[in-house]
Structure 1
Amino acid sequence: MSKSSPAAGKKVLLFGVGLSTPPMIHYLTSFGIQVTACARNPSKIEKVLNEVKEKSLVTMEKFDISAPDYEKRLDEICPKCDIMVSMMPPPCHPKIAAAALKHGKHFFTSSYVSDDMAKLSPEFAKKGLLSINECGVDPGLDHMSAKKVIDEVHSKGGKILGFFSVCGGLPAPDCNNPFGGGYKISWTPYGVLSAGTNNALFKFQGQNVTKPGTEIYDPPEWKHVIDVEGKATTFEWYPNRDSTPYIEHYNMPECQSIIRGTYRNNGWCNTLRAIATLGLNDKTEYKVKWEDMTYLQAAVTIWNTRNADDQLDAKATPEDVKKAYAKALKSDTTNKAITDLEWVGMFSDDKVPAGCKAPIDVMCTLWTAKMQYGEDEKDMIVMQHIFEVEYKNGTREELTSTLINFGLGKYAHIPSKFTSMARTVSLPLACAIRMKLEDRIKTTGVIRPVTPDIYNAILDEVSKFPHPITFKEAALPTAIWLRHEVKPGEERTALTPETAKELIDAGFRVTVEKSTTRCIPIEEYEKVGCKIAETASWPSAPYPTIILGLKELPEDGTDLIHRHILFAHCYKGQAGWKELLARFKKGGGSLYDLEFLKLNGRRVAAFGRPAGMAGMALGLWQWAKQKLGQPAIKDLKSWKSKEAMCSEVKAALKEVEEKKGLKPSTLIIGALGRCGRGATWVAEQCGVESKSIVKWDMAETKGGGPFKALLDVDVLVNCIYLTTKIPAFLTRDMIEGDKKLGVFVDVSCDTSNPNNPFPFYNTGTTLDKPILPITGLKTPLDVVAIDHLPSLIPLESSINYSKDLTPYIKQLIKRDAIVTEPVWKDAKDLMVTKMKEAGL
């Protein structure tokens, strides 16, 4: 019995009766809508009628658009309907649409808006007629579900910085075959194979990118992990067609990245890459009689046509062909692509059917014969949109909208064998047809279903079907990306496997770049569940990703689009500070400087203690080198532990005492802080007498310099940094006279800071060349000014620092932490202040 609808009795003229049309006819007739199905072969229509309950509402018309008198035939049948619908191949649509205009009918299709269709929009609008296009699944449901989220973000004042939309028609997981990681035909194989010949155009981080069809399957494969029936499933995907017009279609001019793509199972890209490389999807018509060949002979023919300098014998065996293929693929015959081609029958003695014109046609016959769905097998549609969003307050997030829809098995109460592909292609269009017949769509012209009045109604309706087509919307957890350090000799890390696991357990997504210098092997991160990325790949991370590092970024002048956590050394007037902040300004990124992550005025995490330790160790070691007449320290390598460091230095001091009868004296400025306490600990561990460890802090320096007492010790270690101008502690004039001081270690190491209280030097040192001799003095004075001293004991430094920092990183699981949590809010506010100071 038909459902009640104002559209009951209205008439739809349907052109094209194929795999996708039965669900549409079943839906329309269930509301009492009459359908006239037009096809060249009436037997197709009769087959469709077997899938329809309301058979009395379906009539048949024979129609052949390739016939010379097709226009006359259209004139005969068009006046009998209210809406004309084309499910024919896209090149046919303009002809049907022209007839719709001629007879004053609305025209609907699920296909893309071609240039020819777009040109008809003004005429449709002028006549008060509607032509809905791209109203299937992809295109169709993708537009509707995407635009729903985009409009919601815009309504909250947000911006879509990045948009990725990927869809694939695949076998359900329990009915895969070996080919290409699992693939079966739910629509024309010609279309699938043709996709590998089409160029892809997309936008990524502000730049338009063209990927030739010959390269869309090239490694590294792009992958997404999606939950399918409770199982995390990895899919390959590749870009298709031109994605860039959808920035305008979706009204998101702010969008910097947009890619629309296709999902396939793992292994697909390898096999299709081989098919393209070998020319098996070539559309060039060969002047041969394919039907006189076996598939093996066809393979030889295709090879010899494309490889004039490397011909196969006409009687080549399957092994000969496989070896040739392996050579072309720079592989061997065990390559999965070659075993896939063998499985599908490319090397068989079966005859090629008649009707083939080009290599792609030959391949299509194999696919049609070998990759059909079995009687009780199901297909599925997998679709996911990823939205990279930024809001006015600077917060960012990644949103997803995901569809997992399975084809139907045999059920008593519904038509049998409706595939997911057929349902998702035809039912959204059927809903739109019904809406128009019920006068619920007022728009005119050639349109896509991207306005709320259309997409909300269709999405709502398909979600209420007995077997619903439903999108699941979600916000992805915060993503942290640990980058590789580019500073020479930097082995520390802001995240250890233990703290990375803490973040994962707290809900974060954690990516760790491969690094040849990090003190912890990448395998340890992989074991705890981190995603592993290639070295220096962080620039391509999604916009909302938080990039975590320690020392400076590459000085390549590129715009910085992400939120970065690092020691930037640019807030105290250091060299290049304006240039670095300008990169953040231009890219729209943010800087959260680790040096200024504070709570109640105190850093939440610091490397002060290990910096002081390493500084004192180098100071004592270089003093020993001076006294023994040995060359200065150079080419520093890290120690496995602080104990190993102290042991080596202690041995050097013992040698000085035994050979020269000397013991060092030290003075530590800032002795009560973390850094100073670390320096004191090392001095004690290395055997420096307590009376020779002089400790200065604020009480001793509050009167202001200069301080002659600093010249009366062997090793001076400075553990303070200044943000305000004060009189110098030591001047050039002072060190030119008589002095005991032989080594000065500046742990703060702000050499370009205008407030540096030791203005007799302005050049930092490195692990390769850690000693800077001050020239022109009566007695030697060596300076150690390495700005990443803790890297000399990297593992312990990293473990302790990461433990202190992680509780505050955890706060970032909340999207709005940068405006609600004091540590992050203050860091953000400081960046804004410094930007203003830089005139940005």
Structure 2
Amino acid sequence: MRKVLIIGAGRSASSLIRYMIDHAPSEDWRLTVADKDIAHVRSVIGQGSEVAEAVAFDATDGSLRARLIEAHDLVISMLPPSLHLGVVRDCLRIGRHAITPSYVPDEMWSLDAEAKTRGLVLLNELGLDPGIDHMSAMRILDRIRAEGGRMMAFESYCGGLIAPESDTNPWGYKFTWNPRNVVLAGQGGMARYIKDGEYKYVPYHKLFQRTVRIAVPHYGAYDGYANRDSLRYRRHYGLDEVPTLVRGTLRKAGFCTAWDVFVQLGCTDDSFIMELPKNATWQDFLMAFLPHDVERGPRENLAHYLGLDPKGEIMAKLEWLGLFGRGRIQDPQRSPAAILQSLLEEKWQLLPGDRDMVVMWHRFRYTVDDRQLELQASLVSEGESEQHTAMSRTVGLPVAIAAKLVLNGQIAQRGVLMPIAEEIYAPVLHELEDLGIRFLEEELEA
């Protein structure tokens, strides 16, 4: 019997847990799911209690974490990204394989040599983005190279969105994953990419103004903004000499220009605690970021300050959120980002019957025998339910399939890994296709 520890049972873990429970009898697995909310874990496990055990877990309790890791053969961390490193370090010290869906921090790359020496798989970036984006890109890049193609440009965008029939608010957006990550998106560094041989750098305060329009077959147009660091993937993808490489995030058309209001005002700042009165309203929150103007009300003040159309779509989106109203803020003694997040969690929540949607789009431009070609690959996946969302499926299922590969000894590589080798991406993508997660490809003359 192989024992698997899943740490974290949040929004993105439900489909992972269901897959592992469904396959446990045939694969001879025993599962432990550890989370701070044990009642939630039990509800997610449901009828799978014969093969899965719920355990209360405190991420700050290092001794408990070590004991749990030591009792299992493979550890899957679905914790917030900042907590993965402690889990992986324990796995390395104790001698256990580990998988995370998140980006590899620099500190984790430093564990690579020791992991190789100890014969361990420390597999990361195996969710949706990062994850399916890497695997689908590498499958096509390897195919183009095998055909003698020379890459000229690679662009890749992904977004967690809402299915058309559930798109019921002016923003065209609802939370399907960690709300904090959405509110803080784009912070923490300069967005960097290369376009037609020119390096481009976009600071946070300009990020949501520098968007491109992406047309996804059968689903319409979206706005894309650049991710923080596209350049780090040139080496991983074998695209060191490519003139154009951009990775970015998709939002419904019009979202970014409205979100930019919060960025320009400072409402997404998470670095300080606001000193608002205990009975502060949402109008008070907004006015705290506007110039003092006794002649203008909050609507007129905002429109004048940022040059907005007082009767335009952006103002309508802000009005819908209630920012000009007298609704009370539950806890105004927080950072601007945390206060804004509390409002959005109320307004952008998935309602009963809502379904989310993930959209991923790649464009490859390359030459073969003096012919200039373009290949577009798009993935659109809609959620099953509020629990088994498209985000949960596309993040959790690649992790689950990779866990099966590791446990069955089907991954020869050792060390700190990304899913860019064929021995990983081929079987994972193949099974995802069997589960209904597949790309539509279209090749054009450029």
The verdict on a shared fold, with TM-score over 0.5 as the criterion, is: yes
Match of 2:265 in 1: 278
Mapped to 2, the partners of 1:247 and 1:159 lie a distance apart of 14
2:160 to 141, 163, 169: 169
* 1:80-479 correspondence runs (5 A): 80-180=71-171, 182-198=172-188, 199-218=190-209, 221-228=211-218, 233-289=220-276, 291-303=278-290, 310-312=291-293, 320-354=297-331, 357-391=334-368, 393-409=369-385, 417-465=387-435, 468-476=436-444, 478=445
Mapped to 2, the partners of 1:335 and 1:163 lie a distance apart of 35
CA deviations 1:670-721 (Å, max 9, x no partner) are xxxxxxxxxxxxxxxxxxxxxxxxxxxxxxxxxxxxxxxxxxxxxxxxxxxx
Mapped to 2, the partners of 1:163 and 1:183 lie a distance apart of 27
User: How far apart are 1:284 and its partner, in Å?
Assistant: 2.8
Tell me the SS of whatever aligns to 1:187. coil
Match of 2:50 in 1: 56
Mapped to 2, the partners of 1:81 and 1:258 lie a distance apart of 40
Gap change, CA 1:120 and 1:291, over 3 Å in 2? farther
Tell me the SS of whatever aligns to 1:463. helix
* 1:314-713 correspondence runs (5 A): 320-354=297-331, 357-391=334-368, 393-409=369-385, 417-465=387-435, 468-476=436-444, 478=445, 544=446
User: How far apart are 1:312 and its partner, in Å?
Assistant: 4.5
8 A Cα contact 1:399 1:475, kept in partner: yes
Percent of aligned pairs with the same amino acid: 29
Gap change, CA 1:356 and 1:261, over 3 Å in 2? farther
Gap change, CA 1:197 and 1:77, over 3 Å in 2? closer
Higher RCO (CA-CA < 8 Å; seq separation 6+): 2
User: How far apart are 1:192 and its partner, in Å?
Assistant: 1.4
User: How far apart are 1:327 and its partner, in Å?
Assistant: 1.3
* TM-score where L is the length of structure 2: 0.95
Mapped to 1, the partners of 2:70 and 2:273 lie a distance apart of 44
User: How far apart are 1:145 and its partner, in Å?
Assistant: 0.3
Mapped to 1, the partners of 2:348 and 2:67 lie a distance apart of 40
User: How far apart are 1:209 and its partner, in Å?
Assistant: 0.8
8 A Cα contact 2:273 2:333, kept in partner: no
User: How far apart are 1:99 and its partner, in Å?
Assistant: 0.8
> Number of residues paired by the alignment?
441
Match of 1:587 in 2: none
8 A Cα contact 1:346 1:366, kept in partner: no
CA deviations 1:226-251 (Å, max 9, x no partner) are 123xxx51111111110011111111
Gap change, CA 1:460 and 1:356, over 3 Å in 2? farther
Tell me the SS of whatever aligns to 2:434. coil
User: How far apart are 1:196 and its partner, in Å?
Assistant: 4.1
Mapped to 2, the partners of 1:77 and 1:366 lie a distance apart of 37
User: How far apart are 1:23 and its partner, in Å?
Assistant: 0.7
Mapped to 1, the partners of 2:183 and 2:228 lie a distance apart of 14
8 A Cα contact 1:41 1:62, kept in partner: yes
CA deviations 1:702-755 (Å, max 9, x no partner) are xxxxxxxxxxxxxxxxxxxxxxxxxxxxxxxxxxxxxxxxxxxxxxxxxxxxxx
Mapped to 2, the partners of 1:34 and 1:334 lie a distance apart of 59
User: How far apart are 1:289 and its partner, in Å?
Assistant: 4.6
Mapped to 2, the partners of 1:355 and 1:35 lie a distance apart of 41
Tell me the SS of whatever aligns to 1:292. coil
Gap change, CA 1:287 and 1:373, over 3 Å in 2? closer
Tell me the SS of whatever aligns to 2:297. helix
Matching residue's letter, 1:58: A
Mapped to 1, the partners of 2:274 and 2:297 lie a distance apart of 24
8 A Cα contact 1:196 1:276, kept in partner: no
Gap change, CA 1:43 and 1:356, over 3 Å in 2? farther
Gap change, CA 1:154 and 1:356, over 3 Å in 2? farther
User: How far apart are 1:274 and its partner, in Å?
Assistant: 1.4
Mapped to 1, the partners of 2:282 and 2:225 lie a distance apart of 29
Mapped to 1, the partners of 2:162 and 2:137 lie a distance apart of 24
8 A Cα contact 1:196 1:214, kept in partner: no
Mapped to 1, the partners of 2:13 and 2:333 lie a distance apart of 27
8 A Cα contact 2:155 2:362, kept in partner: yes
User: How far apart are 1:157 and its partner, in Å?
Assistant: 1.4
Match of 2:32 in 1: 36
User: How far apart are 1:384 and its partner, in Å?
Assistant: 0.7
User: How far apart are 1:459 and its partner, in Å?
Assistant: 0.3
CA deviations 1:629-675 (Å, max 9, x no partner) are xxxxxxxxxxxxxxxxxxxxxxxxxxxxxxxxxxxxxxxxxxxxxxx
User: How far apart are 1:166 and its partner, in Å?
Assistant: 0.3
Gap change, CA 1:82 and 1:295, over 3 Å in 2? same
When the two chains are superposed, the root-mean-square deviation of aligned CA atoms in Å is 1.7
User: How far apart are 1:167 and its partner, in Å?
Assistant: 0.4
Matching residue's letter, 1:57: V
Mapped to 1, the partners of 2:3 and 2:274 lie a distance apart of 47
Mapped to 1, the partners of 2:176 and 2:73 lie a distance apart of 30
Mapped to 1, the partners of 2:371 and 2:70 lie a distance apart of 56
8 A Cα contact 1:278 1:325, kept in partner: no
Match of 2:11 in 1: 19
8 A Cα contact 1:177 1:184, kept in partner: no
Tell me the SS of whatever aligns to 2:308. coil
Match of 1:610 in 2: none
Greater radius of gyration (CA): 1
Gap change, CA 1:290 and 1:128, over 3 Å in 2? farther
Unaligned runs of 5+ in 1: 1-8, 304-309, 410-415, 479-543, 545-840
Match of 1:608 in 2: none
Unaligned runs of 5+ in 2: none
User: How far apart are 1:17 and its partner, in Å?
Assistant: 1.2
